[in-house]
Amino acid sequence: FTSFLHLPGTSEEVAPPIQQSFMIPKKEINMVSDMAKWKRSQAYADYMGFILTLNEGVRGKKLTCEYKVSEPIEKLVALLNTLDRWIDETPPVDQPSRFGNKAFRTWYAKLDQEAEKLVSTVIPKHLADAAPEVAVYLKESVGNSTRIDYGTGHEAAFAAFLCCLCKIGVLRVDDQMAIVFKVFNRYLEVMRKLQKTYRMEPAGSQGVWGLDDFQFLPFIWGSSQLIDHPNLEPRHFVDEKVVNENHKDFMFLECILFITEMKTGPFAEHSNQLWNISAVPSWSKVNQGLIRMYKAECLEKFPVIQHFKFGSLLPIQPVTS
């Protein structure tokens, strides 16, 4: 799976001009029958390969462990900090409806306007042509400004954004842990703040049958972090004390903490799927099960994937190999 994560120390280091014409990604999945195209596409293979590469990269590692932080990683965190600052500068407005605060549209308009400029701060000069293509995934990753909702399709756009940065060589194979622990984790913090501040609706929520109203990937990578943990077992994550003591080390527990802050009532009722998962005997079984569930419930669902965009970096063309 590391074929498209440029290996450090190879000739890639010289950064030759990429012989590639970039394009603005567009919608290709317009009806349910188009889903077959998606599953056979290079985009699907690369996206899933990326998710699984990172899944291995964080296996058994704590959020607080030591890892390399490259300059592009620092720049991505700065970009996310900017989005966070804009939330502070765009307070929710008074409106009759509790949900979907219209101030989100103001916040989003700013991102829409600035996205390319923001992405250009992360991409080296010789790759400047890639910025418009890559920026589309950033804009798609924060929720929908018409419906003021957020869901796993938006989260997938952010993973696609990071995947594109790997494909053009901005992020490298030794950035794996920082991609998840520093960049994706910061992204989650900003998304949680958006969800809370503007009271965003869950996009295409399956209600109590979904894993979570908003996210999925941190449960996959977070369960991988916990594989072979000496004393934390899946049954422990429903224990408030365990969550409070360990959430800073593990993404999975951070997600559980956020759910319990946002929802009231018994855990088994508001998060039934997660409650069921707590009965699985090992974290590696949880991890495998979540990967299967992610494919079935997110990547193979038309309402989620119809919004996915395809360009030169994540092409709709069938897998070549």
pTM for the whole structure: 0.94
Q: Are 15 and 130 in contact (CB under 8 A)?
A: no
Q: State the average pLDDT for the chain.
A: 92
List the chain domain ranges.
Answer: 26-62+69-205+302-310, 207-295
Looking at CATH, the fold of the domain delimited by 207-295 is given as: Four Helix Bundle (Hemerythrin (Met), subunit A) (1.20.120)
CA distance 271 to 219: 13
User: Tell me, what's the pLDDT at 320?
Assistant: 81
Both tokens assigned to 255: 């997600």
Locate 307 and state its tokens.
């919004």
pLDDT in tens, 282-321: 999 999 999 999 999 999 999 999 999 999 999 999 998 6
26-44 tens-digit pLDDT: 999 999 999 999 999 999 9
**pLDDT tens string 131-153:** 999 999 999 999 999 999 999 99
pLDDT of 5 above 90: no
Three-state secondary structure string covering the chain: CHHHCCCCCCHHHHCCCCCCCCCCCEECCCCHHHHHHHHHEHHHHHHHHHHHHHHHHCCCCCCCCCCCCCHHHHHHHHHHHHHHHHHHHCCCCCCCCCCCCCHHHHHHHHHHHHHHHHHHCCCCHHHHHHHHHHHHHHHHCCCECCCCEECHHHHHHHHHHHHHHHHCCCCCHHHHHHHHHHHHHHHHHHHHHHHHHCCCEECCCCHHHCCCCCCCHHHHHHHHHCCCCCCCCHHHHHCHHHHHHHCCCCHHHHHHHHHHHHCCCCHHHHCHHHHHHCCCCCHHHHHHHHHHHHHHHHHCCHHHHCCCEECCCCCCCECCC
